[in-house]
Amino acid sequence: MKGIFISIEGMDGSGKSTQIKYMKDFFEARGHSVLHTREPGGTAIGEKIRELVLNNDYQEMSDITEALLYAASRAQHVKEVIRPALNEGKIVLCDRYVDSSMVYQGSGRGLGYEAIKSINDFATSCLTPDLTILFDIEPQMSLQRINIGEEGDRLERETLDFHVKAHSAYMELANMYAERIKVIKANRVIEEIRGDVEQLLEKLLKGGM
């Protein structure tokens, strides 16, 4: 594959969408073709799964069903969108990928990393990002930023304890996969964060990650 696969991770409200826009500008200014996509979703089937998995009407959804739905959305996404884009030499910026499932389903729901890794290896044929940027923010601050209240989706409305667990899991994964996952402190002003991200991307383009 000729392209570059970058996943962007972090709690809701950590600033992923904000920074992805700048990342897209960064690559396009250097003449690269960029695909910006997201999970769950990114395909017609994936967007249907997104509606299902985030729907507040389905409080009875089992943890295993939830994990398999995220993996199913991802399988379609990899086959229909991500691999073809990489084969065309594009830079793929993916808002959440397997690490989100490790964190929210593996740790948050308590299904364990092993099980989540195994269904996702199957779903993606082990397609792993070249680089993962993790925006690190304290769970309290991220919840404040998104100010969810009654508006939040099924995952956002989880307890603070769930989000605290997810945050520790992100830190654990960053240690386990230190080569791939680069942590950027997200409790700073937007331009400072953007500068750090661009430094990482410069390095990646020079082949020095």
Report CA 42 to chain centroid distance, whole Å: 12
Among 156, 186, 193, 197, binds ligand TYD (CB under 6 A): 156
Among ligand TYD, ligand ADP, none, what binds residue 15 when CB lies within 5 to 8 Å by partner kind? ligand ADP
- Contact call for residue 155 and ligand TYD (CB under 6 A): yes
- Whose tokens are 């398999």? That residue is 68
Long-range contacts of 161-169 (CB under 8 A, 24+ apart): 162/108, 163/11, 163/108, 163/139, 164/139, 165/107, 165/108, 166/11, 166/103, 166/104, 166/107, 166/108, 166/139, 167/11, 167/138, 167/139, 168/107, 169/102, 169/103, 169/106, 169/107, 169/108
What's the closest the beta carbon of residue 14 comes to ligand ADP, in angstroms? 4
Could you say which residues in the range 49-78 bind ligand TYD, by CB under 6 A? 54, 70
Nearer CB in complex with ligand ADP: 83/163: 163
Structure tokens at 32: 């690269």
Could you say which residues in the range 8-37 bind ligand TYD, by CB under 6 A? 12
Nearer CB in complex with ligand ADP: 37/83: 37
- Contact call for residue 104 and ligand TYD (CB under 6 A): yes
- Contact residues for ligand TYD (CB under 6 A)? 12, 38-40, 54, 70, 96, 100-101, 104-105, 153, 155-156
